[in-house]
Amino acid sequence: MATIFSGIQPSAQAPHIGNYIGALKQWVELQEGNDALYCVVDLHALTVPQDPKKLQESIDQTYALLLAIGLDPEKSTVFVQSQVPAHAQLGWVLQTISTMGELSRMTQFKDKSAKFKDSIPSGLFTYPTLMAADIVLYDTQIVPVGEDQIQHVELARNLAQRFNNRFGDTFVVPNVQIKKEGARIMSLADPTKKMSKSDENKHAAVFLNDPLDVIQEKLSRAVTDSQTEITFDPERKGLYNLLSIYKILTGKSEVEIEQDMKGKGYKEFKQEVAHQVITLVEPIQTRMQELLSDRTALHDSMKRSAEKAASRAQKKLEEVYSKIGL
């Protein structure tokens, strides 16, 4: 049994199938037989300007989505970050042992800050130290994430080691866990870019709350190439991306898929992919609506999970405070 931690930001835009395939699908698998903690990282969402009412709604939506995909609060601890104060408290401590140099090297900071020109929010710069705190608070061994988060988990490892060296053994040094396949699902509109919630092109991503006809339309417009044969070739980026999605959702082998697709055209193949995506998201959407229709029950569930997480986190924070002389 391993201790697992991972998080997802609440955002007005629901998670996309890249988030699902790269991260969320693993979360559901890993809750069996492990000590798993999954977090709606709402403090991270504050690194860019937010409308308070919309943020509150996004937190509910994201929490409901995590339950709807199959996370079970009886098996894993599914909670909201801001409801466990030790995250922000340890975040500050870890920020004080991080350096400007290592934070400046984070590629996500470089990408996200580019949108702000002269007034870059400083939270965007320091956010990986809060993410490190999220992880090490629970003596996490494994962090299942998509490829874009490897560098942040590496920073969490460095900060845990640095703290242990300075103040004595305190934190478990976490390991990142990346799926061999699906760790980087690409944009449907431009398969050289990763699928991203914030992409301005509305055909780039399929979101888990997209109406079913929109899913069909987005997949039918997905960029491929002018060849005809449907085979797994990483050089044919658009097709390869669709085939990867199809492979993960069906559980079929590459040979089996190539066999099935012999003689079929792109149109038919894309319809098959859309069918698989719809089969995945339809029950999730139904369950999510049920959960969101009873906010009292939803908030009760959040509160119970936060209490469970907080009692663990508080112990670790007290150990840290005592070691650093607070």
CB of 246 to ligand AQP, least distance (A): 15
Whether 25 is catalytic is: no
Q: Which is nearer to ligand AQP, 22 or 238 (CB)?
A: 22
Whether 194 is catalytic is: yes
Q: Which of 103, 105, 152 is nearest to 125 (CA)?
A: 103
What phi and psi values does residue 162 have, to the nearest 5 degrees? -60, -45
Pairing of strands 3-8, 35-40: parallel
Q: Which of 233, 243, 281, 293 is nearest to 264 (CA)?
A: 243
Q: Which of 84, 88, 89, 97 is nearest to 37 (CA)?
A: 84
Report whether 233 contacts 239 (CB < 8 A): yes
Which of 194, 218, 247, 270 is an active site residue? 194
Residue 78 amino acid letter? V
CB of 9 to ligand AQP, least distance (A): 4
CB of 120 to ligand AQP, least distance (A): 15
What phi and psi values does residue 143 have, to the nearest 5 degrees? -120, 100
Report whether 225 contacts 192 (CB < 8 A): no
CB of 146 to ligand AQP, least distance (A): 2
Q: Which is nearer to ligand AQP, 115 or 303 (CB)?
A: 115
Q: Which is nearer to ligand AQP, 40 or 86 (CB)?
A: 40
Whether 267 is catalytic is: no
- Across 172-226, where does the E strand assignment appear? 175-177
Measured distance CA(212)–CA(262) in Å, rounded:
27
Residues that bind ligand AQP (CB under 6 A): 8-9, 18-19, 21-23, 145-146, 148-149, 183-185, 194-198
Which of 112, 179, 218, 316 is an active site residue? 112
Cα distances (angstroms) measured from residue 239 to each of 184, 222, 258, 270: 14, 9, 12, 10
Q: Which is nearer to ligand AQP, 194 or 270 (CB)?
A: 194
DSSP 245-298: HHHHHH---HHHHHHHHTT--HHHHHHHHHHHHHHHHHHHHHHHHHHHT-HHHH
CB of 25 to ligand AQP, least distance (A): 10
Q: Which is nearer to ligand AQP, 62 or 77 (CB)?
A: 62
Q: Which is nearer to ligand AQP, 93 or 183 (CB)?
A: 183
What phi and psi values does residue 39 have, to the nearest 5 degrees? -130, 135
Which of 25, 54, 75, 197 is an active site residue? 197
- Six token digits for residue 112: 């996200």
Q: Which of 17, 39, 16, 15 is nearest to 27 (CA)?
A: 39
The sign of the CA dihedral 200, 206, 211, 215 is positive
Cα distances (angstroms) measured from residue 259 to each of 61, 219, 254, 279, 292: 40, 21, 8, 22, 42
Q: Which is nearer to ligand AQP, 38 or 269 (CB)?
A: 38
CB of 321 to ligand AQP, least distance (A): 28
Catalytic residue numbers, as ranges: 112, 194, 197
